[in-house]
Amino acid sequence: MQVSDMRALRLIFYTKTQRLHRLNPSIPNSLSSFPQFSRHFLHSTPSLHHSNSTAETAPRAWSIYDPAPGTDGNGNAKKPNLDIVGNKKKGKARLSWVCADCGHSDGQWWGTCRQCNAIGTLKRFSEGGSAEVSEGKTWLSPKAGESRPMRLTDVNRGINQLNWRIPLYGPFGNEVSRVLGGGIVPGSLVLVGGDPGVGKSTLLLQIAAMIAERNDLGQPAPVVYVSGEESVEQIGNRADRLSIGADELFLYSNTEIGDILGKSQPLSPRVIIVDSIQTVYLEGVAGSAGGPAQVKECTSALLRFAKKTNIPILLIGHVTKSGDLAGPHVLEHIVDVVLYMEGEKYSSYRLLRSLKNRFGSTDELGVFEMSQSGLQAVSNPSEMFLSDQYSDSEYLAGLAVAVIMDGSRTFLIEVQALCASGSTAARQVNGIQASRADMIISVLMKQTGLKLQENAIFLNVVSGVKLSETAGDLAVAAAICSSFLEFPIPNNIAFIGEVGLGGELRMVPRMEKRVNTVAKLGYKMCIVPKSAEKSLGSHGFEGMEIIGCRNLKEVINTVFR
Ligand code: TYD
Ligand code: MG
């Protein structure tokens, strides 16, 4: 060991012991209580005595540990086998500490997680941990050397693409298939998210029953429904309510992934359903069930199982307060398909849409109604908006339908306007930004010549929705015109577009997705900006007519003829 290194060590030791002593007077003042140092000091006692003052050499000693790594103060390559705190470097197995809350990994233990500041959540984690678990369970960990590149023609040989997917029958099955882009793809991992109580368990139990009763070969096929939330009796109870009596439907209440898959595989199920990812855990992985590390590892294990055995897995995922799927975002990256089930609190309608689909489009929308005997497909979704008071809305002036998006979800909302001539009441706006409403009213007066200034105008968005997107401008303008002209807008027309100060109609993002939803909901006509008409023209929208208009005048001439 070089003299300069020795000086540095001595200084560090000196400062460390001083500090420890200040903090804890009970620490014995003995070199042997610091074994990692004592060895060196005992060996080098003579050189210690050569130097009279530690403080004297201190500044130079610090500089030794500062320079470019790999060299000492003299520019010579150093052979450090000790790190800055005197621990032996590397050589031994590396452990990491993983936060059970956020999944942050650290090389060192800290009292609090340095990512999310949670206290006491760091758990010891050895990198080889999951490999240990996987011993004897080959589906848990991919084995290198098992697979090799294959020719596309060999991959597809003998596969009939039409019969490849697991089909779902009847109106309910068709509605689910539509969202999946066909039947269930063998070996796929499908995540179904949604608010608590929206009907996820019901949906998957119905799908399970459908496959268990009749598979693609016309024969019953085993399906395993695993629940970590409910007992088999509770699931049985629900099945009874849904009049399900499939012989081949197996119920299993368990939460350990290894056990779940190990016990399901011998049944050779056609499909496995896991309710829910937040309640299952994988042994050997840090954190409790539902924690980020567990959610990620469990999903990865399920994916590997699905790919290896070609058994599709349908997985339920919870949703956080903000509407995102609970757990790390990586979850959505791992799975093949993400479906989202939504429904208004006081409405029995449920919408199933796909947020991600490796095997189909994400524009499809499944519409169901929650009845006493489970989910039923809604045959004519446009009726959803024709509640009793609006069934005669062909005669109700001042009502227009806007199409807005929230994240990747599309909503149709009704905008109401009331123009009361001779009223002295001030303008009232509900659910629309007041400044935006003022602008649209002024544009209507200036660019179309409507004499709105003699009216008190009330605007309202039905069912308490907030219209925060400019895509709703056109519907607001149309509702005002309809009320002012006392000309009802037929209830099968939707409006999409932003209104500019010149009265011109402007494109809004994701036109195609909006128009698709409108068409799926059974509307007959959609008014869009002229610039959008061309790009939309080539797509078939289930017989819905798409009319492009340049400005508000054209809209009035088209709709209020
Ligand atoms: P559930 O599938 O348990 O919801 P999730 O799994 O998403 O939490 O559905 C619960 C709700 O559905 C519950 O409020 C009752 C209602 N429901 C019906 O209206 N009819 C039915 O036939 C069933 C089974 C449930
Ligand atoms: Mg449930």
334-354 pLDDT tens trace: 999 999 998 877 778 888 988
Residue 46 binned pLDDT confidence (cut-offs 50, 70, 90): very low
pLDDT bin (cut points 50, 70, 90) of residue 73 is very low
422 pLDDT above the threshold of 60: yes
The pLDDT tens digits for 491-539 are 889 999 999 999 999 999 999 989 988 888 788 899 999 999 888 876 6
Reference 122, options 147, 105, 141; nearest CA is: 105
Q: How far is C-alpha 337 from the geometric centre of its chain's CA atoms?
A: 11
Q: Does 38 score more than 50 pLDDT?
A: no
Report the separation in Å between the CA atom of 390 and the middle of ligand 1, taken as the mean of its atom positions.
28
**Ligand 1 atom at minimal distance to the Cα of residue 241:** 22
Q: Whose CA is nearest to atom 10 of ligand 1?
A: 197
Amino acid at 325: L
- How many whole angstroms from 196 Cα to the centroid of ligand 2? 7
User: Which tens digit of pLDDT belongs to each residue from 272-308?
Assistant: 999 989 999 998 888 888 888 888 899 999 999 999 8
As beta bridge partners, residue 126 has: 95
Asked if residue 360 has pLDDT above 80, the reply is yes
Region of residue 187 (left: phi > 0; alpha: psi -120 to 50; beta: else):
left
Contact 286, 123 (CB under 8 A): yes
Ligand 1 atom having least distance to the Cα of 229: 6
Look-up: residue for tokens 């030791």? 13
Task: Give the contacts of 145 (CB within 8 A, at least 6 positions apart).
Answer: none
Coil, strand or helix at 440: helix
Ligand 2 centroid–CA 122 distance in Å is: 30
- 82-116 pLDDT, tens digit per residue, is 333 333 444 455 677 777 777 777 777 777 878 88
pLDDT of 135 > 60? The answer is: no
Residue bearing the CA closest to ligand 1, atom 15: 197
Sorted by sequence, the CB contacts under 8 Å of residue 271 that are 6+ apart come out as: 166, 184, 207, 208, 211, 223, 224, 311, 312, 313, 314
How far is 396 from 482, CA to CA, in rounded Å?
9
Quote the strand ranges of 198-333, DSSP E: 223-227, 249-253, 271-275, 313-317
Which ligand minimizes its atom distance to the CA of 202?
Answer: 1
Please give the mean pLDDT across all residues of the chain.
Answer: 77
Cut 0.75: pTM above it = no
- Give the whole-number percent of the chain exceeding pLDDT 90: 40
| Model pLDDT, residue 551 | 95
Ligand nearest to the CA of 200: 1
Highest mean pLDDT among 33-37, 332-336, 539-543: 332-336
At residue 123, the pLDDT reads 73
Three-state DSSP class for residue 102:
coil
Distance between Cα 375 and ligand 2 center (Å): 14
HSE, CB side, 13 Å, CA atoms: give it for residue 101. 11
Antiparallel, parallel or unpaired: β 95-99 and 105-106:
antiparallel
pLDDT bin (cut points 50, 70, 90) of residue 140 is low
What pLDDT was estimated at residue 139?
53
Report the atom number in ligand 1 closest to the C-alpha of 276: 6
Confidence of residue 216 (pLDDT cuts 50, 70, 90): low
Cβ atoms 524, 557 nearer than 8 A: no
| C-alpha distances out from residue 37 to 9, 34, 40, 46, Å | 8, 6, 5, 15
Exposure of 221 in the CB half-sphere (CA atoms within 13 A): 18
* Buried b / exposed e along 488-498 (16+ C-beta atoms within 10 A): bbebbbbbbbb
What are residue 178's phi and psi, to 5 degrees?
Answer: -55, -45
pLDDT at 190 (0 to 100)? 95
The pLDDT value given to residue 311:
93
- Helices 3-23 and 54-65 cross at an angle (nearest 10°) of 110
Least confident of 287-296, 314-323, 483-492: 314-323
For a ligand 1 pocket test, name from 172, 370, 372 the mutation site with the most ligand atoms within 8 angstroms of its C-beta: 370
Examine the pLDDT at 238 and tell me if it is beyond 90.
yes
Residues with CB under 6 A from ligand 1: 194, 196-202, 238, 241-242, 370, 372-374
Mutate which of 202, 205, 372 to test ligand 1's pocket (most atoms within 8 Å of Cβ)? 202
**Cα 339 from Cα 233, distance rounded (Å):** 27
**CA dist list (Å): 476 to 178, 443, 558:** 32, 12, 16
Q: How many angstroms separate the alpha carbon of residue 318 from the centre of ligand 2?
A: 9
What ligand is nearest to the CA atom of residue 239?
1
Is the pLDDT at 467 greater than 60? The verdict is yes
Q: Find the 200 Cα to ligand 2 centroid distance in Å.
A: 6
